[in-house]
Structure 1
Amino acid sequence: MATPHKSVAAPTVPTPSAAEIVSIADVRAAHARIAGAIVRTPTLLSRTLSQLTGARVYLKFENLQFTAAYKERGALNKLLLMPEAARACGVIAASAGNHAQGLAYHGARLGIPVTIVMPKQTPTVKVSQTEGHGATVILHGERFDDAYAHALTVAEERGLTFVHPFDDADVIAGQGTVALEMLADVPEIDTLAIPIGGGGLISGCATVAKAQAEVEGRTIEVVGVQAELYPSMFNRITGSILPCEGDTLAEGIAVKEPGVLTSAIIRRIVDEIVLVSERDLERSVALLLQIEKTVAEGAGAAGLAAVLADPGRFAGRTVGVVLCGGNIDTRLLANVLLRDLARSGRLARLRIRLQDRPGALFQVSRIFDQLAVNILELAHQRIFTNLPAKGLSLDVECETRDKAHLDRLVAALQTAGYEVTPVELA
Structure 2
Amino acid sequence: MIGISDIEAAAARIAGHVVRTPTVPSPGLTALLGVPVTAKLELLQRTGSFKVRGATAKLLSLSEAERAAGVVAVSGGNHGIALAVMAAALDVKATVVMPRTAPARSIGLAEAAGASVRLTDGMDSAFELVLRLRDEGLTLVHPFDDPVVIAGQGTVGLEFADDVEDGTEPTDVIVSIGGGGLIAGVAAALRARRPDVRVWGVETEGAEAMSAALKAGGPLQVPVSSLVTTLSAPAVSRLTYDHVSALVDDVLVVPDRDAVQGSLDLAEHAKVWAEPAAGCLLPAARQVLTRVGDGVRLGLVVCGGNTTPRELTGWGERFGLM
Deviation at 1:121, TM superposition (A): 5.4
Which stretches in structure 1 are left out of the alignment for 5+ residues?
1-20, 348-426
Which letter maps to 1:293?
Answer: K
Deviations 1:213-254 (A, max 9, x none): 34xxxx111111111232221111123999744343x32112
**Which residue in the other structure is 2:82 paired with?**
102
Alignment size in residue pairs: 316
What CA distance in whole angstroms lies between the structure 2 residues aligned with 1:47 and 1:120? 38
Deviation at 1:148, TM superposition (A): 1.9
The structure whose residues are more often strand, as a share, is: 1
The structure whose residues are more often helix, as a share, is: 2
Report matched runs for 1:158-307 at 5 Å.
159-186=137-164, 188-214=169-195, 219-239=196-216, 244-248=223-227, 250-307=228-285
Q: Larger RCO: Structure 1 or Structure 2 (Cα < 8 Å, ≥ 6 residues apart)?
A: 2
Note closer, same or farther for the CA distance 1:193–1:148 as it changes in structure 2 (3 Å cut). Answer: same
Report SS of the residue matched to 2:48: coil
Q: Is 1:151–2:137 an aligned residue pair?
A: no
The question of whether the paired residues in 2 share the 8 Å contact of 1:307 and 1:313 is answered with no
Report SS of the residue matched to 1:58: strand
Note closer, same or farther for the CA distance 1:278–1:125 as it changes in structure 2 (3 Å cut). Answer: closer
TM-score of the aligned structures, taking structure 1 as reference length: 0.70
What CA distance in whole angstroms lies between the structure 1 residues aligned with 2:53 and 2:221? 31
**Which residue in the other structure is 1:378 paired with?**
none
Report SS of the residue matched to 1:67: helix
The question of whether the paired residues in 1 share the 8 Å contact of 2:55 and 2:149 is answered with yes
The question of whether the paired residues in 2 share the 8 Å contact of 1:195 and 1:225 is answered with yes
Note closer, same or farther for the CA distance 1:123–1:59 as it changes in structure 2 (3 Å cut). Answer: closer
- What is the root-mean-square deviation in Å for CA atoms of aligned residues? 2.2
Q: Is 1:323–2:302 an aligned residue pair?
A: yes
The question of whether the paired residues in 1 share the 8 Å contact of 2:174 and 2:299 is answered with yes
Deviations 1:322-359 (A, max 9, x none): 1101111322212345578x65xxx7xxxxxxxxxxxx
Deviations 1:165-186 (A, max 9, x none): 0111000000000011111111
The question of whether the paired residues in 2 share the 8 Å contact of 1:115 and 1:136 is answered with yes
Which letter maps to 1:51?
Answer: A
Deviations 1:20-55 (A, max 9, x none): x31110001111111211111101111222123232
Report SS of the residue matched to 2:295: coil
Deviations 1:291-350 (A, max 9, x none): 22211111112222211345333552221101101111322212345578x65xxx7xxx
Which letter maps to 2:299?
Answer: G
Report SS of the residue matched to 1:229: coil
Report SS of the residue matched to 2:46: coil
Report SS of the residue matched to 2:201: strand
The question of whether the paired residues in 2 share the 8 Å contact of 1:57 and 1:321 is answered with yes
**Which residue in the other structure is 1:133 paired with?**
113
The question of whether the paired residues in 2 share the 8 Å contact of 1:195 and 1:226 is answered with yes
The question of whether the paired residues in 2 share the 8 Å contact of 1:233 and 1:258 is answered with yes
Among the aligned pairs, what percent are the same residue?
A: 39
Which stretches in structure 2 are left out of the alignment for 5+ residues?
none
Deviation at 1:117, TM superposition (A): 2.0
Report SS of the residue matched to 1:99: helix
What CA distance in whole angstroms lies between the structure 1 residues aligned with 2:102 and 2:253? 26
TM-score of the aligned structures, taking structure 2 as reference length: 0.91
Aligned counterpart for 2:44 among listed residues 64, 88, 91? 64
Which letter maps to 2:186?
Answer: C
Which letter maps to 1:324?
Answer: C
Note closer, same or farther for the CA distance 1:190–1:281 as it changes in structure 2 (3 Å cut). Answer: same
Which letter maps to 1:198?
Answer: G
Q: Is 1:48–2:48 an aligned residue pair?
A: no
Report matched runs for 1:307-386 at 5 Å.
307-313=285-291, 315-337=294-316
Question: Bigger radius of gyration, 1 or 2?
Answer: 1
